[in-house]
Chain A
Amino acid sequence: METVINIVLLTFLCITALAIVQIRKLFCAIMLMGIFSLLSACLFVTMDAVDVAFTEAAVGSGISTILLLGAMTLTSIDEKRPSYQSLIAILVVVVTGAILVYGTMDIPPFGTPDAPIHRHVALRYIQQSPIEVGPPNMVTSVLASYRGYDTLGETAVIFTAGIALVALLGTYRRKTGSAPQKDKPSTLNDHLVLSIVSKMFIPLILLFGLYVQFHGDYGPGGGFQAGVIFASGIILYALIFGVDKAMRVISPSALRLLSAAGLLLFGGVGLMCIINGGNFLDYNTLAQRPIDGQHLGIFLIELGVGITVFAIMVMMFYAFSNRKGRSA
């Protein structure tokens, strides 16, 4: 049964991707991209990757669709036909694909328990992490404790991307004679159903974001997902009631502070471990019992990740939506 679901979803995924390749309207392509992400999130669930599915559903069909739409409204809606022949492109793609398929012949079939990938560190993670680190969710243990360096690096990448985006687009709206903005409130506030339903949903989304953040040790979830979900609550508010109102709720300067604070919290925990006589990000030294130290360390760095991701995501949305006001 699982295999059938798997194959059907994969086939749908390929069909959606083909449609994205074919379609000329960027709006349709972006909407299909949302469907594509949702389908791949379903696939991740069938393949036991619940944390990944969570992230893909929140990021792929939520934030990235919004960002693509924002960029589309600032540029053009249609894709022109390419003026050059793409026969060579097809040839390159087919040849590369054939070589890759040839390469898969040596990979053990899907689901093999004794494949090489399961022979190395994974065994240690699965058997020892509940004893050494504590949280029942092994993904959290690996993410925050065993591979804390990676996660720190990735948080820094997200932070850097946020800085780059602000450098490129700016967060504030320039107030130079944009008077005609007044008579055209470009919000969806006039739609009664939308505004009432979203008013009901936003607190629930924010609450769910907090739950995902703090329950990440025990179930699927964690800082990355929680940050994105919390940000999507704020973005929904901004979409319905206007960016100006949202910026009064959380101002760009507060976001800038928060994004740095999250990363600093992460790095600070690492430094704290050094001060207590351990290695960088060695949480065992944070408390009397190593397991308590691990718990505290994971809690703090997940919080740091969540804060940074949340702040950067909202900042990105502000940057795109304020650009609109600027060029109009």
Chain B
Amino acid sequence: MSWIGHYNYWAAIVLMMLGFYVVISRGNLIKKLIGLNIFSTSVFLLYISMGKIKDATAPILVDSTLAPTTVQVYSNPLPHVLILTAIVVGVATTAVGLALTVRIHERYGTIEEDEIRAKDDSL
């Protein structure tokens, strides 16, 4: 059952490609940002999958006086740190993208890429 060991990575790649597809093939700017969000979530998934160790627990120190018998293995805390800040930064940058979209809509009256380009050309 070798495919199970890589299922996480493949799922992350499928998600990444779906997000990528939305970004390059859809003309709607909000849809593009949604695609970008899917893309970034897939990256988060990839990092967290790499940090996981089989039969390990969350990287919070277990008080050895409370549970002395269990052997503790912790998952890697470093990807968790990187991703948790990346999520909040991601929402902040998405918000800036959305603000730009709103301004584009106020200026052009549309958020479809081809219509914006047509209006630009006609100027």
- Cβ of A17 under 8 Å from chain B: yes
> A63-96 CB contact bits vs B (8 Å, 1 = yes)?
1100110111011100110111010011011101
If A13-B11, A101-B13, A110-B5 touch, whether A71 touches B30 (CB-CB below 8 Å) is yes
Number of A interface residues at 8 Å Cβ cutoff, please give it: 107
The B22-52 residues at the A interface (CB cut-off 8 A) are 22, 24-31, 33-35, 37-38, 41, 44-45, 48-52
Query: Quick check: which of A121-129, A187-195, A196-204 contacts chain B, the rest being far away?
Result: A121-129
Q: How far is the CB of A13 from chain B (nearest CB, A)?
A: 7
Interface centre among A54, A67, A94 (most CB of B within 10 A): A67
Give the distance in Å from the alpha carbon of A6 to the alpha carbon of B12 in the complex: 12
Q: Which of B6, B30, B76, B93 touches A110 (beta carbons < 8 Å)?
A: B6
Pair A48/B59 contact, Cβ less than 8 Å = yes
Q: Which of A47, A56, A168, A224 touches B49 (beta carbons < 8 Å)?
A: A47
Q: How far is the CB of A69 from chain B (nearest CB, A)?
A: 10
Residues of chain B within 8 A of A64, CB atoms compared:
37, 91, 94
Chain A residue, CB-CB nearest to B9: A104
Which secondary structure characterizes the binding site on chain B?
helix
Q: How far is the CB of A86 from chain B (nearest CB, A)?
A: 4
Q: How far is the CB of B42 from chain A (nearest CB, A)?
A: 8
Give the distance in Å from the alpha carbon of A142 to the alpha carbon of B57 in the complex: 17
Q: How far is the CB of B106 from chain A (nearest CB, A)?
A: 7
Number of B interface residues at 8 Å Cβ cutoff, please give it: 86
Residues of chain B within 8 A of A219, CB atoms compared:
60
Residues of chain A within 8 A of B83, CB atoms compared:
49, 52
Interface centre among B15, B25, B84 (most CB of A within 10 A): B84
Chain B residue, CB-CB nearest to A316: B95
Pair B20/A93 contact, Cβ less than 8 Å = yes
Which secondary structure characterizes the binding site on chain A?
helix
- Cβ of A270 under 8 Å from chain B: no
Residues of chain A within 8 A of B30, CB atoms compared:
26, 68, 71-72, 75, 79
Pair A52/B13 contact, Cβ less than 8 Å = no
Pair B99/A165 contact, Cβ less than 8 Å = yes
Pair B102/A320 contact, Cβ less than 8 Å = yes
Residues of chain A within 8 A of B76, CB atoms compared:
117-118, 122, 126
- Cβ of B81 under 8 Å from chain A: yes
Give the distance in Å from the alpha carbon of A242 to the alpha carbon of B54 in the complex: 48
Residues of chain B within 8 A of A71, CB atoms compared:
30, 98-99, 101-102
Give the distance in Å from the alpha carbon of A93 to the alpha carbon of B15 in the complex: 11
- Cβ of A294 under 8 Å from chain B: no
Pair A121/B78 contact, Cβ less than 8 Å = yes
Pair A110/B57 contact, Cβ less than 8 Å = no
- Cβ of A285 under 8 Å from chain B: no
Give the distance in Å from the alpha carbon of A117 to the alpha carbon of B7 in the complex: 18
If A6-B8, A47-B48, A111-B52 touch, whether A224 touches B85 (CB-CB below 8 Å) is yes
Pair B21/A109 contact, Cβ less than 8 Å = no
Chain B residue, CB-CB nearest to A64: B91
Q: Which residues of B contact A (CB under 8 A)?
A: 2, 4-11, 13-22, 24-31, 33-35, 37-38, 41, 44-45, 48-61, 63, 73-96, 98-103, 105-106, 110-112, 114
Q: Which residues of A contact B (CB under 8 A)?
A: 3, 6-7, 10-11, 13-14, 17-18, 20-21, 26, 29-30, 33, 36-37, 40, 43-44, 47-52, 54-56, 59-60, 63-64, 67-68, 70-72, 74-76, 79-80, 82-84, 86, 89-90, 92-94, 96-97, 100-101, 104-105, 107, 109-113, 115, 117-118, 121-122, 125-126, 130, 136-139, 141-143, 147, 150-151, 154, 157-158, 161-162, 164-165, 168-169, 218-220, 222, 224-225, 227-228, 309, 312-313, 316, 319-320, 323, 327
Q: A33-B37, A48-B58 are in contact. List 19 more A-B contacts (CB 8 A).
A: A6-B8, A7-B4, A13-B11, A13-B45, A14-B18, A29-B34, A48-B56, A50-B58, A52-B87, A60-B87, A63-B91, A75-B29, A96-B20, A111-B53, A139-B77, A161-B95, A161-B96, A164-B96, A164-B99
